[in-house]
Structure 1
Amino acid sequence: MNYLKKVVIVLLCLSFKVNTHAQQHPNIMLTKANIDAVRKGTETYPLLKESYSDIKQQADIALTQAISVPLPADGGGGVTHEQHKKNYNNILNCAVAYQISGDVKYANYVKDMLLNYASQYKKWPLHPKAKQNHQGGKIFWQALNDCVWQVYVIQGYDMVYDAISSKDRSTIENQLFVPILKFLTEDCYTTFNKIHNHGTWNVAAVGMTGYVLNKPNYVEMALKGSKKDGKSGYLAQINQLFSPDGYYMEGPYYQRYALLPFVLFAKAINNYQPNLKIFDYRDKLLVKAINTSLQLTYTDGTFFPINDAIKDKTYETIELVYGLDLAYADIKAEPFLLDIAQRQKKVIVSDAGLAVAKAISEGKSQPFNYVSQWIKDGGKGDEGGLGIIRSGSNEDQQCLLMKAASQGMGHGHFDRLNILYYDNNTEIFFDYGASRFINIESKRGGHYLPENDSWAKQTVAHNTVVVDQKSQYQAKVSEAEKHSPNLIYFGKNNQMQIVSAEETNAYDGVNLLRTSALVKLPHTKKELLLDVFFVNSNEEHQYDLPFWYKGHLIDASFKPKVFTAELKPLGQEYGYQHIWLNAENKLDTRSGYISILNNKRFYTTHFTSESPLTVKMLSIGANDPEMSLIADKSFMLSQPKAKTQTFVTVTETHGNIDPINETVDAAFSKLSDLKLLNSNKNGAEVSFKYAGKSYTYKINYTDQKRFTELVENGN
């Protein structure tokens, strides 16, 4: 990864002094100046009323239970881990309930909880189950979780500050918060100054606490790094982790996770040091990041699961609730964010949440507009990116994503030029995501599983070409971070939307060039997914192109030669050891097709090449002694020995089934006679027939003005 060599922090040329006059509390998400308005809003605006009702209900439950502050002992998902998570949520919920209701019983709960922590914290050693290769915490197994705890707790303390006696505040601050500040900045020095989501949570925890406790030194460290030279800290994180388009280099899942500390700390900065104009920083980078996060979801709300990702996450996650509310209220983002807020069905009980709930109640919401776009990666926007192509309404949208981004640090996968394809509110060609049962202690303690490295990160686990059964960059992060793919073309014409990208460093002496398009024909209800993958080398190699699919195999142009009595792994390493070879057909012809039924629709993938291919039907599950892997399926197009290879596929969406009435419509593809006419480093030419019409698809890699065209040749 190429970091910025110089971190230009224009904001810090301004006066850096934190306001040291008598501070107001609360002054982060919920501010003293707006408390009356928020209280009234909880009675007036339905979304804010419902959100507060949920918080108060949780706060009331907390008050019925004895305070428990156990000695930290368990990893993620364990009893003590979950109790400390519960505690920080209870602190924040009760603090909000105090501010809105005015009932001191909620503030007393927070005070008692914090005094309990203050009586123990300094006695606790490092966590006994600290994660390997990560800074251990004191409350949790990794310091990251300690930072999350502090980000939540300091908001709660800020809200009940005036309800706690000066004596108790002194105890809480000197026996708990100040030791936490020292731990996060001194014991966790490396993490505090790391350009990474762990570092982001750390500086946010320290900076927000510094503001509430009126400790400007810690605030300055949080903004500029331990040495206060701007080479690390919050602003350096914004500069280096986000592209100019607001893309976070670790991918959508971690962009979602990192957004919360970024936006919360920004809110605190804006309230305490408005002269820094943090929401205007880098051309309003934070609002771009929030908008980009939403664009990195499919229409069902799930994030594109590239890199290490838990696939169930949607934009309903609390990080996006915070981000969206702040984007609309404080950064004056577009009204279409209100549409997502309605789908989230909650707002933060805060100044920002009030603004969102009020606007929705007044009918200001506009439909959220998913758009096709190239999203740049890298701090300067020069480290590849993601190509997203969309077609159709939000209710039934085709979506194609090509990953041509940077490695994404340690959470990145070796999947340059991988594609994901969605339709009909489901995955068609999918990404496995991460191999992890997060916070389920009984499954490897909630850690990433060994199979995350041996399978999920490997190239063959993705829909991209594998050379000689090895992963890109031989699965070495340090090598992958030195390079990124190049965008060749992103654009559209009247007939199609296209993305094309090239990777020249993943394999020694091998160039990978992929061009994918959604193509509109007069007779198609759904656009065709047309994919041309050109691979070029001076040496002979084995080239494999898997398509990991959801659904059921329905039909094929060949009769699969299935291994019915015994299965064998496809290979020995780089993920191949986890694949069962279910069937293998060496074709006599250059072309063929495979048809899949998924979510009551048919998807037929036609394929062709310069010479006949071997088609392998695969499933996951080999060499999996703890049965951790999901038994997903793939068909793989394989060329065992070639210098230059072109894989051409056209995926047609057609027909449907009605299982209630037992009817089937258009189960057979209308596309036929797919041929590769020519292919080289300058371009490619493909022909096919559809519904009686003959078409020629042309790619010119050297001409941006006429990069692709589709010619109808008649009958």
Structure 2
Amino acid sequence: MNYLKTVVIVFFCSIFSSTTLAQKHPSLMLTEAQLPEIRTGVQQYPLLQTSYEALKAEAELALKSPLNVPVPTDGGGGITHEQHKRNYINILNCGVAYQISQDKKYATYVRDILLNYASQYQKWPLHPKRKPNHPAGKIFWQGLNDCVWQVYVIQGYDLVYDALTAKEREQIEQNLFMPILKFLTVDSYETFNKIHNHGTWNVAAVGMTGYVLNQPDYVEMAIKGSKKDSKTGYLAQINQLFSPDGYYMEGPYYQRYALLPFILFAKAIHNYQPQLNIFAYRDRLLAKAINTSLQLTYTNGVLFPFNDAIKDKTYESIELVYGLNLAYADIKEENHLLDIAQKQKKVIVSDAGLKVAKAIAAGKTEPFKYQSQWIRDGGNGNEGGVGVLRAGDHKDQQALVFKAASQGMGHGHFDRLNILYYDNNAEVFIDYGAARFINIESKRGGHYLPENTSWAKQTVAHNTLVVDEISHYQAKEELGEKQHPELLYFSNQPQLQVVSAKETHAYADVDLYRTTALVKLPELHKALLIDVYRANSANNHQYDLPFWYNGHLVNSSFKINAITDNLRALGKANGYQHIWKTAENTLDTQGGFITILNNERFYTTHFTSGEALVVKQMAIGANDPEMSLFPGKGFMLSQAAAKNQTFVSVTEAHGGVDPINETITAAGSGISNLSLISSDDKQTQISFKLKGKTYNYTINYQDKDNYIIIK
């Protein structure tokens, strides 16, 4: 931890230790002072009104359903698991409905279900479906879910606190919440002090409960760790899990998930102890984290799915609704956030949601400002990062994502220098994401599948280079955590956006360099994706560069002879065992091209290496006895034996298909004669023709002032 962070923590905690906690209810997301305006706002501001009506409808359903607090028996997605999830959502919804409507029936529901939990909780052992060597819960199969339950439930309790008798509060607090605090801090000591999203949910649950129950000792532990030395706890997690740019090291999917406890606890700190100025902590780090989460989405709202990620998760998820509302209301009023709020189609029924809905109703919305940027990774911002390049407007934007970040702990994949490419509201070059059917109990209990390790995390499952059919860092997390890629160059000039990085530790004797760019040329409406991948070694190796894509192969510069029967796996291990080889072609030194039709647009990728190449067509699905893998297609550029190897590709988006009128435009690429002129440690030179004009593209690896020249 650097000196500045140490000073900030010491100052923060010295203020904390001398402060008495305020005790008003409610005081978490929805506060007593704002209640009159919120009650009026649900009648005046459309987005707040529809959000409240949806919440109230859910609360009404809860009241009409029998009270059900089952003994926990099922794993993720099972009957009791889902019932306890419904219960915590119902408790919060009914608490909000009570405060807005002032109808005591909602408070009665919360009282009755919490008294039921209080009568049973201490009798429950650790969950029977807990996994060996995995932090267990009592209500759920893993302790993480118990923390999530408590984060929601304590908010509901805070909302109905004044509607309960002193005796009812004592029963609930002494028989449910105090035992839960002990379970989360003592019985789950390791998780409570872990720098990880499980630890974040734990400290948020403990800290928020400590505030509501007026237990400052638990609040202090949540903020500073069990030993109150600031080596663990909430502030340490902010310092270690986020970069100065607000990037969370586990990747966008888990950034979204972990963001909720960070901001909920921050809001509680802000409300109970505003003098701590938590939203200004570490140069407004939480605001940056919320903005970075939104910047790590495509214009259709989908989060970029690298590392462990469930595909199709969007910024409509409740975590980012909370995050955006708080970012706007409590940190800084940036009107471009309102654009996303309108697309989310909901706000929190809270102080923050009121402010967002009011601003939208006043016509303050501006278009969201998607940016091309280099987002640093690591607590000090020096552990690689993620490059995002964007071209075009929101309706038809190209986005190129370049992953040169740290390992990302246990949820990280072995995909250094991986790229993803989006255009026309669709994935073009794709990432598989995680192999998991979350909460689908019939698929391995909803947990990560074995194929997450054998396929999804392996290097060949991504659009990056594989050496000798072995994954980066031998697919060992402990090795990957020790090293990170290094940024060589970044430029976000509108006509020439470039990100270049190197990875020199993924293999013992191979250095990897990748420079990828979106280049806007006057002859084309869309930017070209120009990608140069170099591998340097003193020894011969097999080099494979896969490109996984969505769409249909419709053209190529060579005749593809598909294997029509007796398919065989591409290899035996490291992910290759899950790939069917569907065709193989050997090309001459001129290389070739492949054209894909995806979402009614053509994408032609020209490729060369200056030497003869083998191009393999691939399909996902080999050695999949439980049929767990999603189908997918790709092509692989392969060199069987070389010391130094450079792969060059240029991808052009062009033309389209109108299936209604059965018309085709610009089905052929305007690029031709792609050639690798030279490539060494100092420089790579390529050339290509575009509609009759020759372009020369040069990368000067040792000249930052003239890193890329195209003319």
Partner SS for 1:698: strand
How far off its partner does 1:494 sit? 6.2
* 1:617 match: 617
Query: Does the alignment pair 1:687 with 2:687?
Result: yes
> For the residues of structure 2 that align with 1:276 and 1:132, how far apart are their CA atoms?
40
User: Which aligned runs of 4 or more in structure 1 are off by greater than 6 angstroms?
Assistant: 2-6
Partner SS for 2:686: strand
How far off its partner does 1:557 sit? 0.9
> For the residues of structure 1 that align with 2:372 and 2:233, how far apart are their CA atoms?
33
- Output one character per residue of 1:143-192: Cα deviation in whole Å (capped at 9) or x when no partner: 00000000000000000000000001000000000000000001100000
> For the residues of structure 2 that align with 1:490 and 1:191, how far apart are their CA atoms?
38
Partner SS for 1:16: helix
- Structure 2: give runs of 5+ residues left out of the alignment: none
Given that 1:615 and 1:636 are in contact with CA atoms closer than 8 Å, whether structure 2 keeps it comes out as yes
Partner SS for 1:402: strand
How far off its partner does 1:565 sit? 1.8
Given that 1:7 and 1:231 are in contact with CA atoms closer than 8 Å, whether structure 2 keeps it comes out as no
> For the residues of structure 1 that align with 2:20 and 2:236, how far apart are their CA atoms?
25
* 2:572 match: 572
Partner SS for 1:543: strand
Q: 1:95-244 to 2 correspondence within 5 Å?
A: 95-244=95-244
Change (3 A) 1:340 1:438: same
Given that 1:472 and 1:507 are in contact with CA atoms closer than 8 Å, whether structure 2 keeps it comes out as yes
How far off its partner does 1:670 sit? 1.1
> For the residues of structure 1 that align with 2:387 and 2:30, how far apart are their CA atoms?
38
Q: Residue type matched to 1:700 in 2?
A: N
Change (3 A) 1:586 1:409: same
* 1:14 match: 14
* 2:653 match: 653
> For the residues of structure 1 that align with 2:93 and 2:13, how far apart are their CA atoms?
38
Change (3 A) 1:537 1:22: closer
Change (3 A) 1:650 1:181: same
> For the residues of structure 1 that align with 2:685 and 2:492, how far apart are their CA atoms?
18
> For the residues of structure 1 that align with 2:53 and 2:372, how far apart are their CA atoms?
38
* 2:369 match: 369
Query: Does the alignment pair 1:548 with 2:548?
Result: yes
Change (3 A) 1:243 1:414: same
> For the residues of structure 2 that align with 1:504 and 1:126, how far apart are their CA atoms?
45
* 1:507 match: 507
Partner SS for 2:16: coil
Q: 1:293-692 to 2 correspondence within 5 Å?
A: 293-493=293-493, 495-692=495-692
Given that 1:11 and 1:276 are in contact with CA atoms closer than 8 Å, whether structure 2 keeps it comes out as no
Change (3 A) 1:573 1:148: same
Given that 1:18 and 1:216 are in contact with CA atoms closer than 8 Å, whether structure 2 keeps it comes out as no
Judge which range, 491-500 or 602-611, deviates more.
491-500
- Output one character per residue of 1:633-673: Cα deviation in whole Å (capped at 9) or x when no partner: 00000000000000000001111011111111111111100
Q: Residue type matched to 1:583 in 2?
A: A
Given that 1:4 and 1:379 are in contact with CA atoms closer than 8 Å, whether structure 2 keeps it comes out as no
> For the residues of structure 1 that align with 2:5 and 2:332, how far apart are their CA atoms?
30
> For the residues of structure 2 that align with 1:4 and 1:474, how far apart are their CA atoms?
36
Given that 1:347 and 1:357 are in contact with CA atoms closer than 8 Å, whether structure 2 keeps it comes out as yes
* 2:38 match: 38
Change (3 A) 1:133 1:427: farther
> For the residues of structure 2 that align with 1:3 and 1:605, how far apart are their CA atoms?
46
> For the residues of structure 2 that align with 1:217 and 1:651, how far apart are their CA atoms?
59
Partner SS for 1:149: helix
> For the residues of structure 2 that align with 1:682 and 1:536, how far apart are their CA atoms?
12
* 1:701 match: 701
Q: Residue type matched to 1:559 in 2?
A: K
Over the aligned positions, Cα root-mean-square deviation in angstroms equals: 1.3
> For the residues of structure 2 that align with 1:77 and 1:171, how far apart are their CA atoms?
30
TM norm structure 2 = 0.99
Change (3 A) 1:102 1:13: closer
> For the residues of structure 2 that align with 1:573 and 1:639, how far apart are their CA atoms?
19
How far off its partner does 1:410 sit? 0.1
Partner SS for 1:419: strand
Partner SS for 1:201: helix
Given that 1:655 and 1:665 are in contact with CA atoms closer than 8 Å, whether structure 2 keeps it comes out as yes
How far off its partner does 1:11 sit? 3.9
How far off its partner does 1:359 sit? 0.6
Change (3 A) 1:22 1:389: closer
> For the residues of structure 1 that align with 2:11 and 2:658, how far apart are their CA atoms?
60
* 2:291 match: 291
* 1:61 match: 61
Given that 2:384 and 2:485 are in contact with CA atoms closer than 8 Å, whether structure 1 keeps it comes out as yes
* 1:71 match: 71
Q: Residue type matched to 1:576 in 2?
A: Y
Q: Residue type matched to 2:473 in 1?
A: Y
Q: Residue type matched to 2:637 in 1?
A: L
- Structure 1: give runs of 5+ residues left out of the alignment: none
Given that 2:398 and 2:424 are in contact with CA atoms closer than 8 Å, whether structure 1 keeps it comes out as yes
Q: Residue type matched to 2:99 in 1?
A: Q
Partner SS for 1:100: helix
Given that 1:26 and 1:32 are in contact with CA atoms closer than 8 Å, whether structure 2 keeps it comes out as yes
How far off its partner does 1:563 sit? 1.3
Q: Residue type matched to 2:289 in 1?
A: A
Given that 1:251 and 1:307 are in contact with CA atoms closer than 8 Å, whether structure 2 keeps it comes out as yes
How far off its partner does 1:517 sit? 0.5
> For the residues of structure 1 that align with 2:2 and 2:423, how far apart are their CA atoms?
37
- Output one character per residue of 1:272-308: Cα deviation in whole Å (capped at 9) or x when no partner: 1111110000000000000000000000000000000
Q: Residue type matched to 2:35 in 1?
A: I
> For the residues of structure 1 that align with 2:434 and 2:575, how far apart are their CA atoms?
14
Partner SS for 1:395: helix
Partner SS for 1:330: helix
> For the residues of structure 2 that align with 1:133 and 1:648, how far apart are their CA atoms?
46
Given that 1:18 and 1:272 are in contact with CA atoms closer than 8 Å, whether structure 2 keeps it comes out as no
Given that 2:5 and 2:282 are in contact with CA atoms closer than 8 Å, whether structure 1 keeps it comes out as no
- Output one character per residue of 1:211-247: Cα deviation in whole Å (capped at 9) or x when no partner: 0000011000000000000000000000000000000
Partner SS for 2:698: strand
Change (3 A) 1:183 1:551: same
Q: Residue type matched to 1:157 in 2?
A: Y
TM norm structure 1 = 0.98
- Output one character per residue of 1:476-522: Cα deviation in whole Å (capped at 9) or x when no partner: 00000000000000014464110000000000110000000111111
> For the residues of structure 2 that align with 1:5 and 1:71, how far apart are their CA atoms?
49
Change (3 A) 1:3 1:625: farther
Identity %: 68
Query: Does the alignment pair 1:267 with 2:267?
Result: yes
> For the residues of structure 2 that align with 1:628 and 1:122, how far apart are their CA atoms?
39
Q: Residue type matched to 2:318 in 1?
A: I
> For the residues of structure 2 that align with 1:581 and 1:207, how far apart are their CA atoms?
53
Judge which range, 329-338 or 93-102, deviates more.
329-338
> For the residues of structure 2 that align with 1:493 and 1:67, how far apart are their CA atoms?
59
Given that 1:297 and 1:304 are in contact with CA atoms closer than 8 Å, whether structure 2 keeps it comes out as yes
Judge which range, 91-100 or 586-595, deviates more.
586-595
> For the residues of structure 1 that align with 2:354 and 2:492, how far apart are their CA atoms?
41
- Output one character per residue of 1:334-377: Cα deviation in whole Å (capped at 9) or x when no partner: 11111111111111011111111111111111110101000000
> For the residues of structure 2 that align with 1:336 and 1:662, how far apart are their CA atoms?
39
How far off its partner does 1:20 sit? 4.2
Change (3 A) 1:18 1:337: farther
> For the residues of structure 2 that align with 1:290 and 1:666, how far apart are their CA atoms?
40
Partner SS for 1:320: helix
